Structures are given as C-alpha cells and as structure tokens.
C-alpha cells in the first residue's frame, strides 16, 4: 500500500501537488474540463487542511518557444480561480525569484498554480528527462509532495519521480481511485473474464493483448484493429484501415490462441452497407462491426463476470457508425457486468453515448492505463513511499 494524502498533517505546510491538468484547449478556451473536475477533491482537501497549495502540471508538449503560447496553463488557472473557494494565484515562471516570492507570500489555504512544467523542456528537456537539478529545485519549494497525476504516472519526469525522491510523499485521491480500481478488477479471480479490444491502432496495443490473453477467457476484437487480424488470415479487407507491420504478430497470436480470439463475422462499410467478412470488396472501408457480430459478441459478453474494454468497436464519432460500440455498452449495462474502460477515446465514447454511470470504472489515463494493462509498472506510483 502506498502512502496517501491522508497520511500527513498540512497545517501551514507548503505542499507541492502534481496534478494532471492537461486539458484540451482551443483558442484559449477549455473544451473539456473533466481533468480539472477530477482533481478538485485532492485540491480542496489540501485547502481545507490549511496547506499552502503549490500546483504543478504539464500541458501538451513543448519543443520550441512557439509551443509555449498554445500550451500555457493560464486558462486552467482562470478556471480554477472560478471554481475554488479561496485565493488562487498564477506564476508565469517555472523557476526563479518571482516564483519563490509568490510562494513566500502564499497564506494557509491559498493556491498557487505554476506554469506548465514542460516549459522546462526547452533547454535540455529538463522536465522530461527527470533532470536532478530541476527536481531538487522544485522539491526545495515544498515540505510535502502529493502526486495526483495518474495520467503521467507511466513517465519518469522531474515533476513526479524526481521530486518524489526528495520529499515525504503520497498519492492523491484520484491516483488512489485509479490504482485501486485497476488492481481490483485485474486481481480478482472471477470468470468468465472478457476483454474487448478495438480502436484504431493495433501497434499501441499489442503488449496489452499479449499480457491479457493468458489472464482472460476470451478477447473480442472489433474497431479498426480487427482488419489487421483478418488480413493476417488472408481475408480481403478492401480499403479498411490496416497495420501491415503487425500482420505477423496477429498470425502468431491467432495461431497460439485460436479459440480465445473472437473476430467479427460481418462489418458495416463507410457507405453503410452490411457485408459478410468473406464478401468485402476492394473499395469497401470497414467502419463498424455488423449485426451478426453484435449478436456473437453480446452472447459471449452476457455471461461475463468481469470485462476490460480498450478501444471502441467502430468510428463512433461519425453518425451511423456507433451502433456496435453502443450495443456492447448496452449489453454491459443491462447485465450489470463489472467493467473497466481504459483509453482516451474509449472513455470519450462512453460519455458521448451516455453510459457514464453504467461502468465500474472509466479510467482517466490513456497511456498510463495502457501501460498498466500491458503488465508494466508505473514509475510515478512505484516511487511513492509504502505505508
């Protein structure tokens, strides 16, 4: 068990809080504030316990000076200023005298948001390479370090792993929720355990398949990635999305686990035609799983005690191509199956199709959850002190 936010006293202490406030911003407007909302419990807990709250977060990627203006945390600061019931300040500097002055002036229960940690990447990738000088500097600004940035826990950066090495530390409420839910569903021994995989790129997910295949009873594969599997079986997939670099992977895994991997038997094309899998023509582009596949998948799914979903069944963002994804979610909801959803677009599809409350857990971390499901450890969490 890792130490958590509840294991420390905060009265008057300077707390460095690493959040994941990496929200989508277009022309200075936040288009989805889920990550801000998810961070509030931890921020408010520290405010209520009279800490001086110093928040670090990254936003997007910073490679050039130009990237800075599109990836400033200033709009996030304005949003938090609106939401939080205390004084909230912003430091445009990620290091230096003006930042230090702002921290000295911070009173108990007040919040300071520091500009994007990746501004420190411009010279020598200091944040992303977990530079020791930068970690030491940031650690010197606080007394306790709380990491609530689950979405970056698969990275070893100065603002997470680096500071953790140097200050008394613990995980925040969001991080605790994410890890507890993932551990619970992966470690319980209930069967049938069904994995549903879809989405666009199989290359991101081969490790997930390899790790889960021995643990689960069946993997149902839809979405764009099914076409690489079908092509590896010499099925004509027309002009559907394919990843030729992974044909060999698919062949190998199908060979080894023939009975465990279930592929579509029909598809819906971009022209809205339903085609049997053996009847796809050259110009057809598969956009969704077909009705017979829905029947096949839901029949297996109904019996499940545990489900992990990573990737939508079709191009759900386009009107008319969310039927497969919707049918899977509906089946889970109706049968009340304990289900974890991982992956950024999968989470978006759940929200879009209105199933937010039907699941055991919808993970907020895309890359981090994929790494976890691949069986890898997450350095941002590993480094936190044990109880």
Contact residue for ligand ADP among 19, 43, 62, 241 (CB under 6 A) = 241
Q: How far is the CB of 157 from Mg ion (least distance, A)?
A: 21
291 or 344: CB nearest Mg ion = 344
- Residue 344 among the catalytic residues: yes
**Residue 115 engages Mg ion in binding (rule: CB under 5 A):** no
Give the whole-angstrom CA distance, residue 73 versus residue 94: 11
Taking CB under 6 A as the criterion, the residue among 151, 170, 224, 379 binding ligand ADP is 224
Smallest gap, in angstroms, from Cβ of residue 349 to Mg ion? 10
Total Cβ atoms within 10 A of residue 377: 11
Which residue among 151, 170, 314, 379 contacts ligand ADP (CB under 6 A)? Answer: 314
Binding mask 334-363 for ligand ADP (x = CB under 6 A): ---------xxxx-----------------
Residue listed under structure tokens 């057809």: 284
The angle, 0 to 180 degrees and rounded to 10, between the axes of the packed helices 344-353 and 323-334 is 80
Which residues, at least 6 apart from 276, have a Cβ–Cβ distance to it below 8 Å?
265, 266, 290, 292
What's the min distance (Å) between Cβ of 246 and ligand ADP? 13
Q: Per rule CB under 6 A, is residue 223 in the interface with ligand ADP?
A: yes
As given in the structure block, the two tokens for residue 174 are 């969001």
Active-site entry in 13, 14, 35, 177: 35
The length of the chain is 387
Active site residue 96: no
**Side-chain half-sphere of 185: how many Cα atoms within 13 Å?**
30
* 88 phi, psi to nearest 5 deg: -125, 130
CB 150 within 8 A of CB 179: yes
Exactly one of 151, 290, 311, 380 binds ligand ADP (CB under 6 A); that residue is 311
CB of 366 to Mg ion, least distance (A): 6
125 is catalytic: no
Judged by CB under 6 A, does residue 201 bind ligand ADP? yes
Rg (CA), the chain: 23
User: What is the rounded distance in angstroms from the CA atom of residue 268 to the CA atom of residue 230?
Assistant: 15
Side-chain-side CA neighbours of 62 within 13 Å: the count stands at 25
Residue 185's CB is within 10 A of a number of other CB atoms, namely 18
Residue 223 annotated in active site: no
Q: Which residue, 141 or 237, is less far from ligand ADP as judged by CB?
A: 237
343 in the Ramachandran plot: left (φ > 0), alpha (ψ -120 to 50) or beta?
Answer: left
Q: Of 102, 201, 292, 305, which is the active-site residue?
A: 201
Give rounded-to-5 percent helix, strand, coil for the chain.
40, 15, 40
What x-and-dash track marks residues 56-75 binding ligand ADP by CB under 6 A?
--------------------
| Best CA proximity match to 364, nearest among 177, 193, 204 | 177
Query: Cβ closer to ligand ADP: 42 or 206?
Result: 206
Nearest-approach distance from CB 344 to Mg ion, in angstroms:
4
Within 8 A by CB and 6+ apart from 371, the residues are 154, 378
238 lies in the binding site for Mg ion (CB under 5 A): no
Report the residue number, 282 or 387, with the smaller CB distance to ligand ADP: 282
CB of 261 to ligand ADP, least distance (A): 17
List the interface residues with Mg ion, window 304-363 (CB under 5 A).
344-345
Q: What is the DSSP letter of 316?
A: T
Least spacing, CB of residue 308 vs ligand ADP, in Å = 12
The answer to the question of residue 367 lying near Mg ion (CB under 5 A) is no
Q: Where does this chain bind Mg ion (CB under 5 A)?
A: 344-345
Q: Where does this chain bind ligand ADP (CB under 6 A)?
A: 198-201, 204, 223-224, 241, 286-287, 310-312, 314-315, 317, 343-346, 366
């Amino acid at each position: 068990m890792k130490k958590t936010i509840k294991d420390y006293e905060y009265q008057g202490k300077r707390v460095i809080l690493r959040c994941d406030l990496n929200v989508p911003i277009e022309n200075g407007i936040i288009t989805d504030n889920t990550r801000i909302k998810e961070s509030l419990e931890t921020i408010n807990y520290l405010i209520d316990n009279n800490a001086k709250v110093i928040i670090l977060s990254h936003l997007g990627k910073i490679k050039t000076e130009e990237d800075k203006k599109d990836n400033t945390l200033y709009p996030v600061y304005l949003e938090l200023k609106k939401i939080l019931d205390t004084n909230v300040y912003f430091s445009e500097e990620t290091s230096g005298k003006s930042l230090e002055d702002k921290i000295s002036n911070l009173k108990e229960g007040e919040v300071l948001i520091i500009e994007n940690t990746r501004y420190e990447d411009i010279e020598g990738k200091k944040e992303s390479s977990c530079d020791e000088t930068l970690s030491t500097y940031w650690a010197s600004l606080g007394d306790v370090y709380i990491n609530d940035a689950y979405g970056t826990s698969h990275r070893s950066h100065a603002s997470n792993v680096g500071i953790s090495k140097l200050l008394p530390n613990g995980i925040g409420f969001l991080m605790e929720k994410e890890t507890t839910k993932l551990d619970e569903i992966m470690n319980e021994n209930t069967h049938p355990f069904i994995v549903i995989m879809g989405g666009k790129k199989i290359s991101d997910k081969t490790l997930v398949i390899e790790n889960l295949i021995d643990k689960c009873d069946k993997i149902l594969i839809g979405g764009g990635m099914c076409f690489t599997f079908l092509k590896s079986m010499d099925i004509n997939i027309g002009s559907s999305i394919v990843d030729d670099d992974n044909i060999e992977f698919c062949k190998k895994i199908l060979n080894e686990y023939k009975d465990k991997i279930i592929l579509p038997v029909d598809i819906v094309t971009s022209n809205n035609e339903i085609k049997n899998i053996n009847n796809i023509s050259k110009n057809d582009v598969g956009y969704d799983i077909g009705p017979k596949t829905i029947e096949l998948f839901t029949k297996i799914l109904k019996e499940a005690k545990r489900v992990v979903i990573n990737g939508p069944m079709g191009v759900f963002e386009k009107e008319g191509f969310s039927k497969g994804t919707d049918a899977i979610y509906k089946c889970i909801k109706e049968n009340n199956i304990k289900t974890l959803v991982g992956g950024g677009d999968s989470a978006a599809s759940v929200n879009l199709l209105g199933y937010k409350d039907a699941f055991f857990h919808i993970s907020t971390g895309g890359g981090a959850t994929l790494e976890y499901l691949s069986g890898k450890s997450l350095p941002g969490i590993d480094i936190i002190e044990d109880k």
